[in-house]
């Protein structure tokens, strides 16, 4: 294969790997989730339940399910906390 055709693929591969490395560094800098709290001010938008239905349930306002498996759902919990429009999901790490 000609070098001119190979360069864009190498550049794309490098960019993809740097994203993966950045993601890995970000995850390894975080601790394990010990507890989650929902602070006052929930506007019941339902985003957390959509993103992480095994942990959050939204009726009048968001609640954490009693049988929620926190360790198994860390990624979606963090995603729900990031997506919450009023930032009331508090993650407490070990
Ligand atoms: S995403 Fe935030 S505001 Fe929306 S229901 Fe969940 S806790 Fe409430």
Task: Judge if the beta carbon of residue 41 lies within 6 A of ligand 1.
Answer: no
Task: Tell which one of 36, 61, 77, 81 to mutate to probe ligand 1, the residue whose CB is within 8 A of the most ligand atoms.
Answer: 61
Mean pLDDT of all residues belonging to the chain: 86
| Overall pTM surpassing 0.85 (yes/no) | no
Task: Write out pLDDT tens, residues 40-78.
Answer: 999 999 999 999 999 999 999 999 999 999 999 999 999
Task: Judge if the beta carbon of residue 64 lies within 6 A of ligand 1.
Answer: no
- What's the confidence (pLDDT) of residue 15? 67
Nearest to 35 by CA among 55, 52, 54: 55
Which residues touch 87 (CB under 8 Å, ≥6 apart)?
A: 81
- What's the confidence (pLDDT) of residue 63? 97
- What's the confidence (pLDDT) of residue 9? 66
Half-sphere exposure of 34 toward its Cβ, with a 13 Å CA cutoff?
A: 4
- What's the confidence (pLDDT) of residue 28? 65
- What's the confidence (pLDDT) of residue 17? 66
């Amino acid at each position: 294969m000609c070098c001119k055709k190979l360069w864009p693929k190498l550049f794309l591969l490098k960019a993809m790997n740097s994203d993966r490395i950045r993601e890995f560094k970000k995850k390894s800098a975080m601790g394990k989730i010990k507890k989650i709290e929902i602070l006052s001010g929930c506007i019941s938008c339902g985003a957390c339940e959509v993103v992480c239905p095994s942990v959050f349930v939204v009726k009048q306002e968001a609640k954490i399910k009693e049988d929620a498996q926190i360790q198994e759902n860390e990624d979606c919990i963090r995603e729900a906390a990031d997506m919450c429009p009023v930032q009331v999901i508090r993650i407490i790490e070990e």
